[in-house]
């Protein structure tokens, strides 16, 4: 045996570059469940269970193809509980003389992997992850010389490069972006389509028992575990989304409804990010739905933009800005993360709904993440490091490369405008318009001060006031600052006084 081919928990793709040249007689695939990866943040129980079960099923599928696999379970008495040590143990026990790996998705692990060759005493080849549609080198070349980075222009170039929704050199439908059609508030009684679930086999049942025993203090519940854990199950999820859900995605992708955590969202991000689905395959399936008349263009384009645009763009930003990007805090936010982010126990119904969905499902859709939990953290001045750690821990689709730019840059404006042209700050009026949360809330979105006033309202104006020096020059905030300046000084004082009381008693909201 000469080579060990390492497969990480988010690399569950048969086409993975590290597996491209397996030799049945001389190659060994190594996969390991290790405590160091499961606990560097306190990952949600369902996230851990999903990945461990998917990893075990992937290893089983490789073995059925005749591939030799060394799989180390978390409860193996010999498990050293770190990737490097498990790699060292495998090299020692098998006599392998080289390691092949695919580049990972987190800076901290990439830095560790760069030292492996010297520390382990064998050649370690780290290959490009070609499941992504824009390599880091290509993204670096794209951004070179640009004074301002905007995803929209990157997305257009990606559409041209991969010939997605194109008619010659022009976008189908005559527009690149149909976002203006994708902001409908929820209609009365709006409910999402019924979702499929997957039977738990013995592998998954074993994993659920393991996770409950070993990660009892982590967030979440393992009840109603419906995750796809194989490529075939993920394909079923994708087919169901394309056939039954995608047609309504465009209209209501920004809507929020109490008791409806999914609405028309795809639920496949965890599978794409873990490798059970490949992004270009997903894009082609959605594109075909429009060409065949099975889904409207605003839905298909909006969905494809999230994968071909945002997903690739945030990865490029991450790898070309790290490691310093993680330490940015443009707005000097330093307040601690309130406990209700972990418990869901708050009288703010929008927060209770978003965090409650997160606790139950290891999921909430992107508007809940951006305009509820993210927006509140922005307005309240919560330290970006604490908010980013929370997002990384609690969502099944979260990895540092995708979570950090979306949270630090989009939700918190912590990078000073690299990701977003303005802060995504909004008062309770936005949440009232785009959801039905406010009708059963203890607070009134029409009030700015007083005991019944929605906390988002006073915090919104306080956010603008305390960041005047940093934000008043932003052209997209001109009207809001003009409105603030026109307010009676006594009203301004009352708003800021009420906001101060809110900030002093965040845990009591």
pLDDT digits over 364-394, tens only?
Answer: 999 999 999 999 999 999 999 999 999 999 9
Whether residue 330 is contained in a domain is answered as: no
Mean pLDDT for the stretch of residues 425-443: 94
Residues 246 and 167 in one domain: yes
Judged against a pLDDT cut of 80, whether residue 181 lies above it is answered with no
CATH of residue 177's domain is: 1.25.40.80
Which CATH number characterizes residue 424's domain?
1.10.579.10
Domain count, the chain: 3
Where does the pLDDT of residue 1 fall: very low under 50, low under 70, confident under 90, or very high at 90 and above? low
Rounded Cα gap, residues 306 and 277, in angstroms: 15
Q: Which of 177-181, 203-207, 243-247 has the lowest mean pLDDT?
A: 177-181
Q: 163 and 262 share a domain?
A: yes
| Statement to judge: residues 163 and 184 lie in one domain | yes
Which of 92, 127, 162 terminates a domain? The answer is 127
112 and 185 in a single domain? The answer is no
Query: Span 239-260, mean pLDDT?
Result: 92
In a shared domain, residues 211 and 305: yes
How many Cβ atoms from other residues are within 10 Å of residue 226's Cβ? 15
> Which pLDDT band holds residue 250 (cuts at 50, 70, 90)?
confident
In a shared domain, residues 161 and 116? no
Q: How far apart are CA 244 and CA 220, in angstroms?
A: 29
pTM: 0.95
Q: Which domain does 298 fall in, by range?
A: 136-321
Average pLDDT over residues 119-130: 96
The confidence score (pLDDT) of residue 377 equals 97
Flag whether pLDDT at 360 surpasses 90: yes
Q: What is the mean pLDDT of residues 470-482?
A: 92
Residue 76 lies in a domain: yes
298 shares a domain with 207 = yes
Same domain, 427 and 278: no
The three-state DSSP-derived secondary structure of 46-77 is HHHHHHHHHHHHHHHHHHHCCCCEEEECCCCC
Per mean pLDDT, which range of 69-78, 184-193, 274-283 is the poorest?
184-193
User: Which tens digit of pLDDT belongs to each residue from 127-175?
Assistant: 999 999 999 999 999 999 898 889 999 999 999 999 999 999 999 999 9
Is residue 333, in this structure, part of any structural domain at all?
A: no
Q: Are residues 427 and 453 in the same domain?
A: yes
Same domain, 113 and 9: yes
Are 309 and 344 members of one domain? no
Share above pLDDT 90 across residues of the chain, in percent, rounded to a whole number: 92
The values of phi and psi at residue 337, to 5°, are -75, 125
Final residue before a domain boundary, out of 127, 159, 181: 127
Looking at the domain assignment, is residue 334 inside a domain? no
Q: What is the pLDDT of residue 84?
A: 96
The mean per-residue pLDDT over the stretch 324-332 comes to 96
Q: What's the average model confidence in pLDDT over 445-474?
A: 95
Residue 300: pLDDT over 90: yes
Tens of pLDDT, residue by residue over 232-243, are 999 999 999 999
Look at residue 464 and tell me if it is in a domain.
yes
pLDDT band, residue 223 (cuts 50/70/90): confident
Q: Is pLDDT above 90 for 356?
A: yes
Tell me, yes or no, whether 327 lies in a domain.
no
Structure tokens, 86: 């498990």
- For 395, the 3-state DSSP assignment is coil
Mark which of 321, 352, 381 sits at the end of a domain: 321
Alpha carbon distance, N-terminus to C-terminus of the chain: 61
Examine residue 315 and state whether it is found in any structural domain, yes or no.
yes
Q: Are residues 143 and 76 in the same domain?
A: no
């Amino acid at each position: 045996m000469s080579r060990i081919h390492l497969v990480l928990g988010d690399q569950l793709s048969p086409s993975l570059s590290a597996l491209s040249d397996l030799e049945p007689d001389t190659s060994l695939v190594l996969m390991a469940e290790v405590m160091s990866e499961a606990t560097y943040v306190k990952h949600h129980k369902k996230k851990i269970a999903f990945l461990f079960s998917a990893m075990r099923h992937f290893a089983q599928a490789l073995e059925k193809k005749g591939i030799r696999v060394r799989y180390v379970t978390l409860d193996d008495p010999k498990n050293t509980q770190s990737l490097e040590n498990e790699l060292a143990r495998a090299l020692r026990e098998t006599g392998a003389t080289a390691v092949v790996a695919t580049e990972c998705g987190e800076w901290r692990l990439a830095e560790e992997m760069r030292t492996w060759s010297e520390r382990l005493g064998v050649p370690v080849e780290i290959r490009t992850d070609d499941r992504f549609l824009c390599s880091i080198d290509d993204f670096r070349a794209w951004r070179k010389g640009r004074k301002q980075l905007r995803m929209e222009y990157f997305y257009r170039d990606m559409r041209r490069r991969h010939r997605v929704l194109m008619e010659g050199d022009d976008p189908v439908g005559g527009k690149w972006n149909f976002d203006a059609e994708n902001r409908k508030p929820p209609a009365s009684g709006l409910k999402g389509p019924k979702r499929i679930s997957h039977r738990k086999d013995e592998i998954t049942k074993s994993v659920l028992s393991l996770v409950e025993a070993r990660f009892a203090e982590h967030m979440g519940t393992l009840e109603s575990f419906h995750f796809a854990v194989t490529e075939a199950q993920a394909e079923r999820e994708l087919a169901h989304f394309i056939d039954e859900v995608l047609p309504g995605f465009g209209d209501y992708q920004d809507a929020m409804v109490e008791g409806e955590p999914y609405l028309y969202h795809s639920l496949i991000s965890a599978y794409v990010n873990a490798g059970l689905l490949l992004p270009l395959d997903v894009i082609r399936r959605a594109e075909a739905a429009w060409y065949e008349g099975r889904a409207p263009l605003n839905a298909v384009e909006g969905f494809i933009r999230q994968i071909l645009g945002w997903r690739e763009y945030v990865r490029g930003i991450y790898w070309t800005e790290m490691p310093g990007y993680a330490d940015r805090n443009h707005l000097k936010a330093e307040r601690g993360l309130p406990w209700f982010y972990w418990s869901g126990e708050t009288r703010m119904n929008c927060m209770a709904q978003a965090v409650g969905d997160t606790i139950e499902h290891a999921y909430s859709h992107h508007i809940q993440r951006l305009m509820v939990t993210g927006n509140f953290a922005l307005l309240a001045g919560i330290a970006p490091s604490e908010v980013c750690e929370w997002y990384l821990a609690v969502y099944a689709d979260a990895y540092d490369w995708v979570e950090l730019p979306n949270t630090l840059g989009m939700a918190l404006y912590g990078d000073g405008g690299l990701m977003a042209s303005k802060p995504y700050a909004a008062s309770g009026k936005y949440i009232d318009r785009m959801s039905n949360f406010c009708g059963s809330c203890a607070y009134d979105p029409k009030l700015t001060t007083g005991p019944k006033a929605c906390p988002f309202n006073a915090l919104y104006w306080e956010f603008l006031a305390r960041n005047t020096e940093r934000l008043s020059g932003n052209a997209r905030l001109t009207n809001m600052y003009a409105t603030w300046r026109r307010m009676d000084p006594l009203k301004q004082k009352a708003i800021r006084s009420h906001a101060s009381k809110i900030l002093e008693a965040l845990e009591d909201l």
